[in-house]
């Protein structure tokens, strides 16, 4: 069960991270790329924030995620500058790719009968528990 404090901190982080990532994408010349943060969950001791990133278009998303992960210290520093009046300590940031949109799309396709996972088992990728 998430406390109000966890939710509040997650909200602050989510709002600012979106800004930071979008600006970094534009500065990096990725103008046609949309990066959004679908969810942030903060651990009870407020030391770790799991940031779920949605990247559109999906091709190159893995690569972009690796770039984000390798720039984690810079992102954390930028976040601490922005939130110094709200957060005493910025949690460690862990970035994950949010694949729920792809998952939903696959379900919709199979419901429409376009791709039948019962006949073609390869369409069902094993879903990771988050």
The structural domains of the chain, ordered by start, are 4-98 (3.30.300.20), 100-130 (no CATH)
Helix axes 4-27, 72-82, angle to 10 degrees: 120
**pLDDT of the chain, 130 residues: tens digit per residue:** 779 999 999 999 999 999 999 888 888 777 778 888 999 999 999 999 999 998 887 777 888 899 899 999 999 999 999 998 888 899 999 999 987 777 777 777 778 776 665 666 665 666 555 5
How many helices and strands (H and E) does the chain possess? 4, 3
Given the structure tokens 């406390």, which residue do they identify? 3
How distant is the alpha carbon of residue 114 from its chain centre? Answer: 29
pTM of the model: 0.75
């Amino acid at each position: 069960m998430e406390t109000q404090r966890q939710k509040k901190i997650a909200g602050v982080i989510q709002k600012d991270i979106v800004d930071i990532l979008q600006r970094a994408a534009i500065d990096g010349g990725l103008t046609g790329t949309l990066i959004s943060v679908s969810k942030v969950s903060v651990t009870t001791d407020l030391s770790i924030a799991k940031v779920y990133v949605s990247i559109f278009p999906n091709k190159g998303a893995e690569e972009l995620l690796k770039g984000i992960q390798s720039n984690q210290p810079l992102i954390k520093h930028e976040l601490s500058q922005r939130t110094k009046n709200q957060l005493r300590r910025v949690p460690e940031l862990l970035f994950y790719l949010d694949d729920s949109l792809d998952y939903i799309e696959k379900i919709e396709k199979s419901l429409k009968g376009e791709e039948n996972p019962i006949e073609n088992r390869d369409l069902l990728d094993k879903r990771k528990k988050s």
